[in-house]
A and B are shown apart, each in its own frame.
Chain A
């Protein structure tokens, strides 16, 4: 029932029509997992899909995430990400992510990747119901992890729109997000991609998420679904997610029926885990009146 509700909400609120994804969209989802910052799940992002909301002035966030990469000669390898994000104003945040392959005995490998992030919210009329909107960009090097030439940097600009709905009380918040994004190198643009998702915040303690990465309203095939939960205690939070769940819309006369009867394929799914520290020196910006 929970799944049904979640999927219904996704289908309704993202207005995705006969949304679907082909390999190109799955590739975009894989690309996003490779370059996205560790999000403050449920706050400035869902899991890998950014939200229009920001950290707020003088608030900081340090997040770490890891996934098993396998083993070499019996020694385990993990692909880890560490993000430092800073809210420089009420509506702007900057971040840096270090992605590093480490061995199970906590030695580093010298395979690493840097990513830079920026997000600016330009629409914040109200905290609830009325959508907030932000633009952002992730930047990653294409050549040897160097950022010396603009030609060697791949940008991932996006537009995120988020609407937050209190369920009876502001302590229970349901939020939906839709994102349009592309890639850019110098002045050249790639194909537009769409993502979206929903999260539920219960008393600032328990969070639940579901997001769909990459869908194309013009074709019908399976999509990529990520789901997760997070627990938060004060400044510390920890989350567990499952990504790369193939979602095949089922039969039905309308989009709601199709998504309610959709099939989940866990064959290629994997777990991800995150640990995060919030450092709140400022307070959340009030909505502009």
Chain B
């Protein structure tokens, strides 16, 4: 017994510390806690969780940073290969609000020999519990901070893909049929077939009146999140399918309402696909009073499910990008107005206040979903990681010469405007729908007209989306040099005679008529 005296005393000491002095320990910890959660991850329902479903979006929140500091946030695989990346500015409290960092989470890259390109695929059978472990890294971008105060840290995280809920949320996927194979696709051309496949669904919940089918809606993308019980509006197609049709390996083709092939009227528009499993015409996330009994599924919540792209162009893609961010649905055209603007007032207070993305506040937003052409550049598939994660660089440049000659020279360097805060901004984007968030602030306004305070500065600008992140103008880059009301094929740059207003947008003291 004697030889146990010292260990026993140590154990007693720890026991006393652990159990009889809890208050003291807690008080000590509280007094020594700098109340910063540093990095948190969320699912698209904004729940702090390590459980996500494939095809969900991973949001990241970072705290404890320098007020208004600029940062790069990366999602790295276990080999430290970037999966995706974004640049962000912390708010006045040093917080990067929950921001989408990884779209289509869980999809791996796989070369499809029939299509001749890499496509994202779900790597695991639906029924298997999947695990993904990765690091999130935050690095300061502001050179004025110097190395002494530099921020560079990373934390490991893991998420699991669980389907073993009371009733898991159906995973809805828009796609194409290649041979007998269903291939996930978010970018279509008019005349192509639209196919839909639902994974993670083994039953239909009780319906009133009772039915053996679920209703599939193809609706105009609304630019924001669907809330619980929200009515399904802007319907382009509605069609009923049985459970076995929806979950068939090869998917099921949309054919109703003149969509046996995608009609020309859909060109240049983004859509969402909703599977209304209880046929009540509303988007229901969960059964009332339950925690994990999910009902309807959607491909295109907060991000478009798919786009019908504009006509392919020879080199760069002219498009409207600069937007005020105040979307509204037009019942006259049955489509959304994306608030593209030729002019922004320098104060910027009449733009949407974006409160939940990595670069929030008033200011110029980027929105370019409806105009994507697939097939150029690397589009995020040539990263070293096995995971699919796509991101692009966005620049605001001084508007280029009006005559168009050599405006965007092939392989010429993209040089950001000296009036802008950034040299470039990196945005995670959804598979082939490059602007996954629908809109993101790319130039924050500060609410006053004094250029010395920062914010917008008077001038004429173009917006460039460097799709292949080459830093040069290359085939497939998307450039806004267009007037706000331009229509496909977007060939005539904005040039207001006699007013010295040209480029994709102008920052002005007062609006003028164009």
What residues make up the interface of A, taking CB atoms closer than 8 Å to B?
22-24, 26-31, 33-35, 60, 62, 69-74, 77, 79, 84, 101, 103, 106-111, 141-144, 151-152, 154, 183-191, 224, 235, 244, 246, 268, 277-281
Contact = CB atoms under 8 A, between A and B. Distances in A.
A14 to B, nearest CB: 21
A281 B151 contact: no
Given A72-B138, A103-B34, A143-B50, 7 more contacts: A30-B158, A72-B151, A109-B35, A142-B49, A185-B162, A235-B10, A281-B7
5 contacts: A109-B33, A111-B38, A111-B155, A143-B51, A281-B8
Contacts of A224: 78
Nearest to A21: B78
B159 to A, nearest CB: 9
Given A73-B66, A142-B51, A185-B162, A34 B151 contact: no
Nearest to A30: B133
A136 to B, nearest CB: 18
A109 B38 CA distance: 8
A265 B58 CA distance: 30
B37 A110 contact: yes
Contacts of B37: 109-111
B153 A69 contact: yes
Interface centre among B48, B50, B138, B157 (most CB of A within 10 A): B50
Contacts, number: 168
Contacts of A26: 77-79
B134 A70 contact: no
B177 interface: no
B14 interface: yes
A183 B38 contact: no
Closest A-B pairs by Cβ, 10 of them: A70-B153, A188-B164, A190-B129, A30-B133, A74-B149, A26-B78, A27-B133, A31-B133, A107-B34, A279-B7
B234 interface: no
B160 interface: yes
B64 interface: yes
A211 to B, nearest CB: 16
Contact of B131 (A27, A107, A186, A278): A27
B489 interface: no
Given A27-B134, A29-B78, A110 B33 contact: yes
Interface centre among B65, B127, B133, B386 (most CB of A within 10 A): B133
Interface in B92-129: 124, 127-129
Contacts of B130: 190-191
Given A27-B78, A29-B78, A109-B36, A70 B65 contact: no
Interface centre among B36, B77, B79 (most CB of A within 10 A): B79
A188 B200 CA distance: 14
B34 A190 contact: no
A124 to B, nearest CB: 23
Interface string B123-167: 010011111111101100000010011111111111010111100
A277 B47 contact: no
B129 A77 contact: no
Contacts of B11: 60, 279, 281
Contacts of A246: 79
Interface in B289-345: 291-292
B207 interface: no
Contacts of A151: 165, 291-292
Contact of A27 (B32, B38, B132): B132
B83 to A, nearest CB: 11
Nearest to A23: B386
Contacts of A30: 78, 133-135, 156, 158
Given A108-B29, A108-B34, A183 B80 contact: no
Contacts of A108: 29, 32-34
B165 A62 contact: no
A7 B65 CA distance: 44
B163 A188 contact: yes
A140 to B, nearest CB: 8
B243 interface: no
B160 A154 contact: yes
B39 interface: yes
B2 interface: no
A73 B39 contact: no
Interface string B6-20: 111011001000000
Interface centre among B127, B145, B156, B387 (most CB of A within 10 A): B156
A144 B49 contact: yes
B167 to A, nearest CB: 13
Interface in B382-402: 386-387
A70 B34 CA distance: 17
Nearest to A74: B149
Contact of A71 (B127, B151, B155): B151
A268 B79 CA distance: 7
B152 A23 contact: no
Interface centre among A29, A73, A77, A152 (most CB of B within 10 A): A73
A186 B128 contact: no
A70 B135 CA distance: 12
A244 to B, nearest CB: 8
Contacts of B127: 188
Nearest to A68: B153
Nearest to A191: B128
Contacts of B131: 24, 27-28, 31, 183, 190-191
Contact of A62 (B14, B79, B145): B14
A180 to B, nearest CB: 15
Interface centre among B66, B132, B160 (most CB of A within 10 A): B160
Contacts of B151: 70-74
Contact of B158 (A31, A189, A235): A31
Given A143-B48, A280-B7, A101 B38 contact: yes
Interface centre among B7, B49, B65, B145 (most CB of A within 10 A): B7
A77 B136 CA distance: 14
A69 B154 contact: yes
B7 A77 contact: no
B35 A110 contact: yes
Contact of B153 (A22, A71, A281): A71
Contact of B129 (A107, A152, A188): A188
A79 B158 CA distance: 15
B36 A110 contact: yes
Nearest to B145: A73
B2 to A, nearest CB: 12
Contacts of A191: 124, 128, 130-131
A109 B35 CA distance: 6
Contacts of B132: 27
